[in-house]
Every structure is written in C-alpha cells, then in structure tokens.
Chain A
Amino acid sequence: MRGYAGKLLEINLTTQKTRETTISEEILQNYIGGRGLAARILWDRLGKKWETTNPLEEENLLLVLTGPLTGFFPGGRVCISGKSPQSNGMIGSTVAGEFGIELKCAGYDGLIITGQASKPCYINIIDKDATINDASHIWSKEGKETVKILTKETRTTLQNRYPRYGILKEPSILYIGPAGENKARIAVVMAKWSHAAGYGGYGGVMGSKNLKAIVAKGMGPLPEVADNERAKALIIKACKDCYKAELWRRWGTGGGGYSFGASTSSEPVRNWQEEWHDEKGYAVDKFEQRLWIKQYWGDFGCPTTCLKLATTKTGPFKGAITDNPDYEMQAFLGPNLGIFVPEENVYLSSLIDDLGLCGIQGGGVLGFAAELYQRGILIKEDLDGIDLKWGNAKAFAALARKIANRDGIGDVLAEGTYRAALKLGRMKGVDLSPYMVVEKGVSIGAHGIRSGKDFGSNISYACSVQAGDHTSMAGLPADSSGEISDVLHDSGVYCSFNTFALEEDLIFEFLDAVTGWKIMREEWYKDKGFRILQIQRAMLLLGGPDAKWNSERDDTNPPRFYEPLPTGPYAGKTTNRKAFEDSKREYYEAVGWDKKGIPKPETLRHLGLQDVEEKLRAVNIIT
C-alpha cells in the first residue's frame, strides 16, 4: 500500500496496553482515511450498541486518524472523531498542524484510543514506542502553559532517546484545556495554541478518558508513494494555484468579521437577533494594523498560510495571543456578543483557546445566555453577579471561565446551547427554543442562510450528517458537490481551504499519484463518499442516549432562521418554509432517503451496508 504507513496504534487506557492493528487494503480503498475510516471503525465497534453508548464514558472511542494525502496535499491536518457528545452521531473534526505528519513519520496512520485511565495521563509516541505517562502536573493547566511544559518535557525525553542526533525538533502535541478535563460537551481538542478540532466535542471525550494530551514525534520519512515524480509535480501545481488567491492569502478569513455582516448579512449579531452590522472599526485593516504580528502563518506544507498571528501588546487586554482571529472567532466572540472592538475579540479568542473551549459552541452559548439576560430570563443572581450585557467583554470572559470549570451556571452552559436550553427552560418554566440557534445539538457556524447571500443554502445544516457544522454542508446537486465533497477532504485529511483555488479533479489525481488507486470522481460521489455519508446519517438518526433526533421533526432550521432579518439591506428576508421543504425533498431523493429522511433499504443494500439496514430495522427507524 502506498501513501499509508500501514498500521494503526491502538491504546487501551483502562489496561494501559498498546497494540498495532492493520486495516485491509479493501477497507482503505473504500473509506480512505480520516472521517471515512472513522465511520467504518466506529460502526464496526459501536454500531450494534450506538444508541446506548454514552459518548462521555469509557465505552466511547477516540480516533485520531490521518489520511493518505496528509503531508502530501498542501496543508497538513489530522481528523479527530468518535461518538460525538454534541450530535450523538459521528463528526469528523479536523485540526491543522504537524501532528498527522509526525504520526505518519513514526509509522502510524492513526490512533484508536479506548477505555479510560484511572488518573490523568498523556500519551507520548516516539517512533514505534508509545508510553502512557502521568499528567497530574499538567492537569487543570490552561493551553499555553500545557504546551510550554509538555514541549520542554517531551523534548528532554526525545533528546535522551536519541542522544547522538544533535538538537532535535519539538514533537507535535494535541491536548485539552480545563473545559475538556471537566467534560464540557463544547470542549475541543487543541493543537499549538489556537488550532482546534472544534465541532464534535472531542475535548470532552478526551477528558472523560482522563487523557490530557497526545504527543508524537516520528523520525522517519512520510510513506512511499505510488508515483513520486507525479506527486512532486502535483504539489507544485497545487501550490501555484493557491498562490494566485492573493487576497485569500493576505486576509485569510480575517476579513469576514466585517464583511459577512456588512456585505452579506449572514453574521451572528447578538445571538443571531440580527445578521447585519456595518461596524467599520471591526474591518480587517484594524486587525491587520493594530494586532497582526505575522501576516502569514500556517502549518505543514501550506501555500496559503491564511492564519495570522495576533497579539495585544498594550491596554487592558494586553498579553492575549491567538491566530487571526479567524472569521468564526471574530463573529462568535465579537458581534455575536455585541463586541466590535478588535482588541476585545483577540482577548476573548485567546482565553477561549486557553480554556480549550470551542469558539463556535462556546461563543454560541455565551450569546444565548446574554440574550436570556437581555430578556430578563436569566438575572444577575443566576450568573453569580456577572453583568452579562452585550459588549461587556470582561463579563463574557468571566462566564467562559465558569463554563470551562463547570462552576455555577457554567455547569449547565458547558452542556452546549441545546442541552442548556432544555434544562434552563425547565428551571425557568419558559420555552427557550426560539433563542437557540442549533442544529441537532450543534451550534450552527457563523454563516446565516436568511439573506441567501452567503455560501450556505436552506438545507445546509438541516440535512447535514454533521448537523450545524459549516464545513460539512448538505447541498444540491448532491452527486457532484455538497457534503460528499467535504467527506473527501476530511477522509484524505488535508486542509479544505487549499482546495478553493483548485479544480476538484486535481484531488483525485493526487489520490492516484499517492495511493495508486484510480478513483473516479463519479465513483466517489455515487459510491465511496456516498457510503460514508449513509453510515454517518445512520449514526445521527440512532443518536442517544440523552438526545435522539426524529428527522421528520428535527431536519429543519432553528426557529430564528424563519424570523425575518430585522436590519440591514436584506431586512425582511427570511427562510421560505415551502422552498425549504422542496429543497429537502429533492435532497432526500438525491441521497437515497425516503420522505421521512431515513436511508432507504435499497440505498443501503446497493452500497453493501446490510448491517446498517439491519440495525436501523432493529430499532424501528426503518419500518
């Protein structure tokens, strides 16, 4: 097999034992890696008991998988998954950085982490040696401190192992912050200081396993590829295409905090009460001139380097450091909280990173709480005295800390907006669903659909197998675009941001050059990618144990997305229910689901997914 190291490492935290596992070429040809392979592994191991598996207990798996294109296609990432404590389905959540490269250079395509350690630990992988180490000294430490201690400690271990090699580079680290340790459903798996595998809540899964961090260093090369000369030529071609996207490189998504509000009216403003603003003080030039200390920052092999390093060097928020912030952080920790001051945004982003909270889910639930405060549903006493007014950055920081530590009201909000809305609604005797902008337990990314001017459509979230995930949107035509193309990126495991400037066929050429498998575009959309989509759909419909989705009821947009936009050039526009129903029907048909949104038995059988059909029948989802 080419492009693969050929082995996965399985680590059982309960027994503290490790073993190598191999995956057959047939499985890899069908499921590729990352998200696709995760769907297969999770289905094989948890499928039969999916709806009773608690994502935050020992029985869940944590998968850390590369793909064949990791390290070759520009922009290295690694895919984190497992049963999601947010959607109760499976989310393939990728994070940028060198971790996937280190893992492959160590000889592993990925990690299957099972069980639960009896006390805080971290895994250290140096080439073929994996050890499980005590993490009591870093437990409860925030992100930057964790990185500092682990970098120092694991470099010493590495240097001792290879004393004659000269000075060795640092290993790569995935870790959680206090939010993950406290099993917040909105906690992320972090890399570097500000990179996160955001969607899914896998920081909480790591925390539930008492796993603070995973460290990897591989001294070997990336695996052999099928056609080296062609792979080299494709790397050059892809990079040249990416270089042409000059403004994309220059600003990354950092121009969005202003433009998605001002131009397209699709940015969450005060918990999506509005989606328009024209705050020129929040435009990209202010970030660029006052805060960005690196105009181009990126990860392994990236030609775009769309990240920017930002820091506040003066003023009350001095000492904050984060990347960009990227558009999602700009929006959710900015206008969504009534904040339009770049320094305050950088400060909150830096804090959210340090706490290991998801910027989208965390910013979402902070905005939700602030709207309840605005409406007098939550009062100061509920918040231990925090004055949660729009624009009060210090108040939002205080509440974020409470969430990460599950302190007071933070314990409820750490469950994420969906679950918090149900619980607070019961406590207060008020229906809070009008204020929760979530899709099947997942706060929706910062791209509204009401104006119709952003890239999403009316079914993007409602029909996605990853729910509110704006990087995995359902769309039409389903057999040539939409979510199945996102499955491709997350299974090849590289940065989808480097595909914007390329012809999609180039990705299939890359796959061929690296693996030697001639997978045709059509084959992906109608067979391989399509199969992965169906497995993920089945997992989402099975859900459980705490929340189960009924597609007839839940394949819809949040109530707020049916309210008219109140302000801006698109005031009055909203989601048309009839048009939505029409698109949904068309999408169901295109992806082989029945009128209720359940995969049809013939769809599953055609793909060889009889086991999925059997399971859905056993629980009466297929009747």
Chain B
Amino acid sequence: MASRKIWITRDYVKCSGCRKCEIACSLFHENKIWPEASRVRVFMLVPGAEVPHLCVQCDDYPCAESCPVKALSVNEKTGAVQVDEAKCTGCGICIDACPGKIPHLHPSRKRILICDLCNGKPECVKVCQEGKWNALGKVKRRGSAASMKAYARTPEEITKELVINLYGEKGEELI
C-alpha cells in the first residue's frame, strides 16, 4: 500500500482569520464548535497577522520521545502523533519538548491535544481550500522533515516575522 503520510503546509500571509479550521476541527473531533479544543488554533497576537498553529510531524517526534508515560505514539500510516487519552496525565512535558510549543491541553478533559491529521484527510485543509484561501494545504510527505520542522515555532516567533512581511518596518512597532 502506498504511503498515506502527509504534511499540512501553511501559508500565514493567506490566512483570512476566518477560523473555519478551528470550527471544522472541533466539530470533527468534539462534535461541537469549541475553538479552545481545536487541534489547530488561529493565534492573532497582532490583528491581520493570523497564525494557524498546528503540529508539523517532526521526523524525530520530540513530543513522543519526551512523554514519561508513553501516551504519544506515531501513526504509521499517516505519520500523525496519536494521543492515548487513557495514559496521558496532562503533565505538559510534551509541550515543553515541542520546538513550537504546539500541543495544548483540552480545556475540560485535561488531556493533551495534538493534530491527528484526521486519518489523512484533514478537515481544516478541506474547509480552507473550499473557501479558496489555501492558507492550509496538504502535501504528500516525502524525504526529510528538516525543513518541515522549521515550521514548529511558537506563535510569538512566527508573528514577529509575519508582521514585517505584512506591514514592513511598521510591523516592528506593533508586537
């Protein structure tokens, strides 16, 4: 069987800030609209500089490596990190291990949330493309993940650069 491993690409400049990815993700996983329980979260630390923030599937998976109770594993088909909620204690060690501090706790279940790639058909990408924003895209995962891992950065780090792209010098004053 061909590999179903994918990556979700992100193009922050194209993000409209509509947050339909958060809506789609939380409807799919939680069956309700719940932005804070969405695995993809749109940060808006500076208006206009919206950053959809979600797992990049690093090839060395530092989050899974760090988990003291082995609650995180890698899905061999899709490459996604999967969370065993029965094992997860919500300790947050994986958050610190992630170079982009991407995982976060479910607000009520207090278990870690990480993008599971919707079994290879990510809902966030679907809605983003339906609306032709294309801020999120889906590509087949090929070769080394070194460049992909570079996307694993905090919203603060990403925003700092994005505002320069959007607003030029003025951007430095805004953050």
Chain A CB within 8 A of B99 CB? no
**Contacts A105-B36, A165-B104, A167-B104 hold; do A193 and B47 have CB atoms under 8 A apart?**
yes
How far is the CB of B43 from the nearest CB of chain A, in Å?
6
Chain B CB within 8 A of A10 CB? no
A239 contacts across to B, CB distance below 8 A: 20, 130-131
Q: Which of B66-74, B141-149, B162-170 makes up part of the contact surface? A: B162-170
Chain A CB within 8 A of B118 CB? no
0/1 interface trace, chain A 150-175, chain B, CB 8 Å (1 if under)? 01000100000000111111100000
Chain B CB within 8 A of A533 CB? no
0/1 interface trace, chain B 22-35, chain A, CB 8 Å (1 if under)? 01001100111111
* CB–CB A297/B48 < 8 A: yes
Q: In the complex, which of the residues B16, B27, B170 contacts A232, with contact meaning CB atoms closer than 8 Å?
A: B27
* CB–CB B19/A98 < 8 A: yes
A193 contacts across to B, CB distance below 8 A: 47-48
Q: Which of A133-141, A176-184, A305-313 makes up part of the contact surface? A: A305-313
B154 contacts across to A, CB distance below 8 A: 167
* CB–CB B16/A294 < 8 A: yes
* CB–CB B16/A166 < 8 A: no
Number of chain B interface residues as a range? 35 or more
B18 contacts across to A, CB distance below 8 A: 298-303, 305
How far does the alpha carbon of A239 sit from the alpha carbon of B18 in the complex, in Å? 12
Which of B19, B26, B27 counts the most A-chain CB atoms under 10 A from its CB?
A: B19
Within 8 A of A (CB), among B41-61: 41-48
Q: In the complex, which of the residues B36, B133, B167, B170 contacts A296, with contact meaning CB atoms closer than 8 Å?
A: B133
Number of chain A interface residues as a range? 35 or more
Chain A CB within 8 A of B138 CB? no
How far is the CB of B111 from the nearest CB of chain A, in Å?
12
How far does the alpha carbon of A232 sit from the alpha carbon of B26 in the complex, in Å? 12
Within 8 A of A (CB), among B125-175: 130-133, 154-155, 166-170, 174-175
* CB–CB A294/B48 < 8 A: yes
Chain B residue with the shortest CB-CB distance to A71: B33
Chain A CB within 8 A of B37 CB? yes
B170 contacts across to A, CB distance below 8 A: 311, 318-319, 321
Within 8 A of B (CB), among A453-500: none
Chain A residue with the shortest CB-CB distance to B91: A164
How far does the alpha carbon of A293 sit from the alpha carbon of B130 in the complex, in Å? 21
0/1 interface trace, chain A 386-422, chain B, CB 8 Å (1 if under)? 0000000000000000000000000000000000000
How far does the alpha carbon of A620 sit from the alpha carbon of B35 in the complex, in Å? 52
B30 contacts across to A, CB distance below 8 A: 221
How far does the alpha carbon of A105 sit from the alpha carbon of B47 in the complex, in Å? 21
How far does the alpha carbon of A232 sit from the alpha carbon of B132 in the complex, in Å? 20
* CB–CB B41/A169 < 8 A: yes
B19 contacts across to A, CB distance below 8 A: 98, 299-301
Q: In the complex, which of the residues A166, A221, A309 contacts B26, with contact meaning CB atoms closer than 8 Å?
A: A221
A-B pair count, CB < 8 Å, reads 131
How far does the alpha carbon of A168 sit from the alpha carbon of B113 in the complex, in Å? 13
A294 contacts across to B, CB distance below 8 A: 13-14, 16, 48, 166
Chain B residue with the shortest CB-CB distance to A192: B47
0/1 interface trace, chain A 214-230, chain B, CB 8 Å (1 if under)? 00001111101000100
How far does the alpha carbon of A169 sit from the alpha carbon of B36 in the complex, in Å? 8
Chain B CB within 8 A of A329 CB? no
* CB–CB A166/B103 < 8 A: yes
Chain B CB within 8 A of A19 CB? no
Q: In the complex, which of the residues A148, A167, A305 contacts B16, with contact meaning CB atoms closer than 8 Å?
A: A305
Which of B31, B42, B44 counts the most A-chain CB atoms under 10 A from its CB?
A: B44
Chain B residue with the shortest CB-CB distance to A309: B48
How far does the alpha carbon of A305 sit from the alpha carbon of B105 in the complex, in Å? 30
**Contacts A71-B33, A166-B105, A224-B32 hold; do A297 and B16 have CB atoms under 8 A apart?**
yes
Prevailing SS type, chain A contact patch: loop
* CB–CB A168/B104 < 8 A: yes
* CB–CB B104/A148 < 8 A: no
**Contacts A144-B174, A297-B16, A303-B131 hold; do A309 and B166 have CB atoms under 8 A apart?**
yes
Chain A CB within 8 A of B90 CB? yes
A300 contacts across to B, CB distance below 8 A: 18-19
* CB–CB B31/A228 < 8 A: yes
* CB–CB B16/A165 < 8 A: no
B35 contacts across to A, CB distance below 8 A: 98, 101, 105, 169
Chain A CB within 8 A of B124 CB? no
Chain B CB within 8 A of A243 CB? yes
* CB–CB A222/B166 < 8 A: no
How far is the CB of A146 from the nearest CB of chain B, in Å?
12
* CB–CB A167/B155 < 8 A: yes
Chain B CB within 8 A of A91 CB? no
* CB–CB A299/B34 < 8 A: no
How far does the alpha carbon of A619 sit from the alpha carbon of B27 in the complex, in Å? 53
Chain B CB within 8 A of A147 CB? yes
Chain B CB within 8 A of A561 CB? no
**Contacts A167-B154, A302-B18, A311-B166 hold; do A220 and B13 have CB atoms under 8 A apart?**
no
**Contacts A166-B95, A311-B166, A311-B167 hold; do A243 and B16 have CB atoms under 8 A apart?**
no
Q: In the complex, which of the residues B90, B108, B133 contacts A305, with contact meaning CB atoms closer than 8 Å?
A: B133
How far does the alpha carbon of A168 sit from the alpha carbon of B41 in the complex, in Å? 9
A199 contacts across to B, CB distance below 8 A: none
**Contacts A164-B92, A166-B92 hold; do A222 and B16 have CB atoms under 8 A apart?**
no
Q: In the complex, which of the residues A166, A194, A221, A303 contacts B37, with contact meaning CB atoms closer than 8 Å?
A: A221
* CB–CB B103/A221 < 8 A: no
How far is the CB of A180 from the nearest CB of chain B, in Å?
18
Chain A residue with the shortest CB-CB distance to B38: A169
A sample of 27 cross-chain residue pairs with beta-carbon separation below 8 angstroms, ordered by A number, consists of A98-B19, A105-B34, A105-B36, A148-B46, A164-B92, A165-B104, A166-B92, A166-B101, A169-B41, A219-B36, A219-B107, A220-B34, A221-B32, A222-B33, A243-B130, A293-B167, A294-B14, A294-B48, A297-B48, A299-B17, A303-B20, A303-B131, A305-B18, A305-B131, A311-B170, A319-B167, A321-B167
Additional A-B contacts beyond A105-B35, A166-B92 (14; CB < 8 A): A98-B35, A151-B45, A155-B45, A165-B104, A219-B107, A220-B34, A222-B33, A243-B132, A293-B166, A293-B167, A296-B16, A300-B18, A319-B168, A319-B170
Give the A-binding residues of B (Cβ under 8 A). Answer: 13-14, 16-20, 23, 26-27, 30-37, 41-48, 90, 92, 95, 101, 103-105, 107-108, 130-133, 154-155, 166-170, 174-175
Q: Which 3 A-B residue pairings sit nearest by Cβ, starting from the closest?
A: A166-B104, A221-B34, A219-B107
